[in-house]
Chains A and B, each alone.
Chain A
Amino acid sequence: MTDQAYNFAYLDEQTKRMIRRAILKALAIPGYQVPFASREMPMPYGWGTGGVQVTAACLTPEDRLKVIDQGSDDTTNAVSIRKFFQRTAGVAITEKTAEATLIQTRHRIPETALTQGQILVYQVPIPEPLRFIEPRETETRKMHELEEYGLMHVKLYEDIARHGQIATSYAYPVRVEGRYVMDPSPIPKFDNPKLGGNAAIQLFGAGREQRIYALPPYTDVVSLDFDDHPFTATKADHGCNICGSIHSYLDEVITDDQGGRIFVCSDTDFCAERQQGTAA
């Protein structure tokens, strides 16, 4: 009964309009962080309140929704958010990447290539890529405004000086269309090459920080690096123990307390489809 007391997709229409306006502006200026009046959501910050609000603003009753957390469809975060939208929007649900029209994700881009018409919504904890090296928000905004991005390379320099290589392995900074430096949310840098030239619309929502940014389809995205230390997309040097894929991003899973471990695809849908394919 109470489920019917909510507006479609929980947020009221005025709020959705406000968020859509921010999304349109973000799409018009790829990589630019658009402020928006983030609402209190019935879940704690850190659970993806930004992503949830962007998803709510984009959902239509005809949409088919997929929610993943670290590539997986069945982790707590994904299950909670999926249930939330099932109850408040009543939209169709799928676990198949190819069938979904809207995918909300945390920390991964699906292995299956996205297609035109799909929307990928990222949950973003900290949208400001310069934050950890320049804590003043006024200063980082000025840096974005004036394209002063030398500081981002200081971070990479520190990595090489300390570890002999660029050790940043997630939330790896990118330059969008030769203009804005953007934090791609904590996706592994293995996924960075998929950001650029992607056919889908990519939206990034940061609820606590009240920022939305976006990559329109087929945007030019370059991962920052040094001439003598070029960017490399890394993954565990193994094949998946279940489906055998050597091209997908892997999770290391501890199986016992004797040091036993296996590597499995972090994208559960990708892995399951490969198993069915080999079984059939």
Chain B
Amino acid sequence: MNAFSKPDTPLFRVENLTKSYGPRIGCADVSFDLYPGEVLGIVGESGSGKSTLLSCLAGHLTPDRGQITYDGRNTLSMAEAERRKLARTDWAFVHQNPRDGLRMGVSAGGNVGERLMAVGARHYGDIRAQALDWLGRVEIAGDRIDDRPRAFSGGMQQRLQIARNLVTGPRLVFMDEPTGGLDVSVQARLLDLLRGLVRDLGLSVIIVTHDLAVVRLLAHRLMVMKGGFVVEQGLTDQVLDDPQHGYTQLLVSSVLQV
């Protein structure tokens, strides 16, 4: 699917989403549509509410107000069983720290196979073949399949987490700072890999980051958050090249030039 030709119906629709922690605002009045194959970047400083927003979207937190519709279904009012099923089949969540997204005591193959077994795969040979295939796709050598993630480098752990999430062929992927904590060369390879996977599989992605280079490379559209509110949104290049809001201008100008 061409990512730039918009289908008629959005895959994921968010309306007036609000979440506060007591008197403090987490995120307020966030609305957007996400179309199939589209990558939405959310940037903002620490404490701007982007992680709160992502947690609400992925169903980890319950928002105070607002509507979330996925593929015509209201994810806030659906039964928990259905939501969790969605989360392990159609959705994926890539954590910033791979330790949060991986089972550290389980081998790489088991980590990738978990989602397959969760949806009913009961043939060891098939599960292993699929795990091997996915390790190859994220550039992890096949002979590491029985090693535990502990024995992997940070970049490899992150790639393993991505493989584990994509193995069931999700349509919507949430990413929370997927390149955080990696050095720049590893970051570049990971971004390259992500860009290829997103394009090949036609994934819709919501990616939260404070790294403008990441969204420049990956995101079609960009939302800038500050203090829980969305202060600016639009096409990524447009927002980054011609920032309108004062905070976005500050953000763009504070990127270090080498």
Q: Check: B125 CB closer than 8 A to any chain A CB.
A: yes
**B170 at interface, CB cutoff 8 A:** no
A146 to B79, CA, bound (A): 10
Given the complex, which residues of A lie within 8 Å of B105, measured CB to CB? 133
**Which B residues have a C-beta under 8 Å from some C-beta of A?**
80-81, 84, 103, 105-107, 109-110, 113-120, 122-125, 127-128, 145-146
Question: Are A133 and B122 within 8 A (Cβ)?
Answer: no
Interface of B (DSSP majority class): helix
Contact A161 B122 (CB under 8 A): no
A226 interface neighbour in B84, B114, B123, B146, Cβ under 8 Å:
B123
Number of interface residues of A (CB under 8 A): 16
CA distance A9 to B68 in the complex (A): 58
Distance in Å from the Cβ of A232 to the closest Cβ of chain B? 14
A118-143 CB contacts (< 8 Å) to partner B: 133
Whether B109 pairs with A133 at a CB distance below 8 angstroms is no
Min CB distance B14 to A, Å, is 25
| Pick from B81, B109, B115, B119: contact of A157, CB under 8 Å | B109
A40 interface residue per 8 A CB criterion: no
Given contacts A133-B103, A151-B118, contact A157 B127 (CB under 8 A): yes
Complex formed: what's the CA distance from A61 to B122 in Å?
Answer: 49
Is A91's CB within 8 Å of the partner chain B? no
22 A-B residue contacts at CB 8 Å?
Answer: A133-B105, A133-B106, A146-B80, A146-B84, A150-B114, A150-B117, A151-B114, A153-B122, A154-B103, A160-B124, A161-B107, A161-B110, A161-B145, A161-B146, A162-B146, A226-B122, A226-B123, A227-B122, A227-B123, A228-B124, A228-B125, A229-B124
Chain A 144-168 interface residues, beta-carbon cutoff 8 Å to B: 146, 148, 150-151, 153-154, 157-158, 160-162
| CB-contact partner of B118 in A148, A161, A162, A227, under 8 A | A148
C-alpha spacing A153/B118, complex, angstroms:
8
| A interface residue numbers (CB < 8 A to B) | 133, 146, 148, 150-151, 153-154, 157-158, 160-162, 226-229
How far is A151 from B116 in the complex, measured between Cα atoms in Å? 10
A157, A162, A227, most chain B CB atoms within 10 A: A157
